[in-house]
Structure 1
Amino acid sequence: MEIIGYMAAILIGLSLGLIGGGGSILTVPVLVYLFGLETEQATLYSLMVVGTTSLTGVIGAYKRGQLDVKMSLMYAAVSVLIVVITRRLLLPLIPMELFTLGGFAVTKSIATMLLLAVLMLLAAISMIRKKQGAIETPASTHQHKGINIQLVMNAALIGFITGLLGAGGGFLLIPALVFVQHLPMKKAVGTSLLIITLNSLIGFLADAPGHTLDWTLLLGITAMAILGILLGGRLGRKISSAPLQKGFGWFVLVMGCYIIFLELVK
């Protein structure tokens, strides 16, 4: 199962390199079902994997001039704070067993995986419905503005999702950067990767001291994901991302449904 897990880690990075997002949402299921980690530990490990892998993508985006550092820092000013609050203050307050429904005990672990599965379904629908024209849209003539209430709300939501579920939330970030902040698509992808990097790595560093970490496993998975994003970056220059995005969206949709089934019947 670990061999399959490492292959899946490459797939996570590959999706980030090819379509700019979506792959990080698979990190926690890979860690839980293929590597046998507890859910809360998996969300912590995911922050390291997602953050480091995204950082690799940020370097490439910076070299290509597809990065709005100012916008990234404005988002991160809010979202990083929410990530840290969620990891250090909120998660410890959630009881291990939440409630019982018809004899079925809904635990913290089950609730986390079900929420992640719902997020996967939303991400999948977003990837499947996105049209080629939306991906290739030229730069908007509007310029993004400074911090506003919508930016703060979007950043807080991303921070909460990252802190609670260990997912980057790129499928929510990119539309917000394109349609609300008026960034060109390619710059929005690079900018979202920097926001995800800051959220994930700072969240990991804030929470890691309270946990015992298997660094061999963690660094191994991270290395495979980085290999994937490097391969994806090279392939992305040669092939269109639109059909790949739709195909990956269907894969994430199936996986989300499978996780819901698995958590409800076990």
Structure 2
Amino acid sequence: MRGLLASPLGLLIGLSLGALGGGGSILAVPALVYGAGENATAATTTSLLVVGVASLLGMGSHWKAGRVRLGPGLVFGVTGLGGSAIGTALNRHVDPDVLLLTFSVVMVIAAAGMWKRGGSPDCIDDENPETIDGPGPSLTSTGGPGSTGNVAVADPPRTERPTRIHLDARTIPKILLAGTIVGLMTGFFGVGGGFVIVPALVLTLGFTMPDAVGTSLVVIALNAAMALALRAGSVDIQWDDALPFVILAVIGTLLGRRLADRLNPVTLTRGFVGLLVLVAIYTAASSTVALT
């Protein structure tokens, strides 16, 4: 019953995944611990299920918008499988309260990274031609001898070229390092690591922000599936808590995709950062009291 009452938090998790490509997954663990009453170890496992399913199903709307680069996403995700295995192994040997205290630090780091990313030019949507092509489409005159007048016709908008992977001596180590860190965090904390994936795709592969958000869901789903497979048989998922969270997280992911099209991404990101900091403070205070 407690899990059902807390399940609306799953909507918030999905909203962040759909709109920002990350961050929402980092809220899943404290939501399940303090909202649904799960212990930290069980919450990280349930979180993987919630985040993985929401990312996989929510990816469809981004796919239709042409914002998912499946090939690069799979390559990036595969590099994190080793880190996911290590993180999962470490998770089983850490005190739950220590895990939550460490997790609060990660949330603060995530908040700082998302705040910095939220004010960067890369957050501007590349589907707005006024943003990437200048003041707007140019006009050409169709008037000529014998015409009744000049008719201004807009040049056809430029079509965005698909993002491609450029592997070189500098890019490969960045992909391997970023992918491994994301996998490690996924296995250890039960989070998708989208707040690491999105800037990594932008900085290492030159993705636009919208493409990075859509592609990050591929990586999150892959890493979550790997971490869940490694935990199979060792931790039981509390389905009474998981199912309502999953359903609302999927709905939230679909709504988040639409929300991202209507709201300023800078405002959206910074609003979430404030929430993330508050949750981090609460988690740190609660775990510190439990350890003393």
- Pairwise TM-score range, normalised by the shorter structure: 0.7 to 0.9
Q: What's 1:162 paired with? A: 186
RMSD: 2.2
Q: What's 1:235 paired with? A: 259
Q: Quick check: which has more Rg, 1 or 2?
A: 2
Q: Is the 8 A contact 1:15 1:229 kept in 2?
A: yes
CA distances 1:227-248 after superposition (whole Å, capped 9, x unpaired):
1112222333322232121111
CA distance in 2, matches of 1:17, 1:75: 19
Q: Tell me by how many angstroms 1:75 deviates.
A: 1.5
Q: What's 2:247 paired with? A: 223
CA distance in 1, matches of 2:239, 2:166: 41
Are 1:120 and 2:107 counterparts?
yes
CA distance in 2, matches of 1:226, 1:196: 14
CA distance in 1, matches of 2:226, 2:279: 28
Q: Which amino acid aligns with 2:124?
A: E
Q: What's 1:15 paired with? A: 16
Q: Which amino acid aligns with 2:281?
A: C
CA distance in 1, matches of 2:247, 2:8: 11
Higher share in helix: 1
Alignment of 1:134-173 (within 5 A): 134-136=122-124, 138=126, 144-146=165-167, 148-173=172-197
CA distance in 2, matches of 1:39, 1:64: 37
Q: Tell me by how many angstroms 1:58 deviates.
A: 1.6
Moved more, 25-34 or 182-191: 182-191
Q: TM-score, normalised by structure 2?
A: 0.80
Runs of 4+ in 1 over 4 A off after TM superposition: 137-143
Q: What's 1:203 paired with? A: 227
Q: What's 1:38 paired with? A: 39
Q: Tell me by how many angstroms 1:182 deviates.
A: 0.8
Which secondary structure does the structure 1 equivalent of 2:38 belong to? coil
Q: Tell me by how many angstroms 1:252 deviates.
A: 0.5
Q: Is the 8 A contact 1:128 1:247 kept in 2?
A: no
Q: TM-score, normalised by structure 1?
A: 0.87
5+ residue gaps, structure 1 = 97-107
Q: Is the 8 A contact 1:128 1:249 kept in 2?
A: yes
Q: What's 1:90 paired with? A: 90
Q: Is the 8 A contact 2:114 2:270 kept in 1?
A: yes
The alignment of Structure 1 onto Structure 2 pairs a total of residues equal to 252
CA distance in 2, matches of 1:210, 1:265: 28
Q: Is the 8 A contact 1:10 1:224 kept in 2?
A: yes
Q: What's 2:151 paired with? A: none
Q: Tell me by how many angstroms 1:67 deviates.
A: 1.4
Are 1:193 and 2:221 counterparts?
no
Q: Tell me by how many angstroms 1:137 deviates.
A: 6.3
Q: Tell me by how many angstroms 1:208 deviates.
A: 2.3
Q: Is the 8 A contact 1:178 1:188 kept in 2?
A: yes
Q: What's 1:111 paired with? A: 98
CA distances 1:172-227 after superposition (whole Å, capped 9, x unpaired):
11111101111111111111110000000222133122233322321221111111
2:278 is aligned, of 243, 254, 258, to: 254
CA distance in 2, matches of 1:216, 1:263: 25
5+ residue gaps, structure 2 = 127-131, 133-159
Q: Which amino acid aligns with 1:168?
A: G
Q: Tell me by how many angstroms 1:21 deviates.
A: 1.8
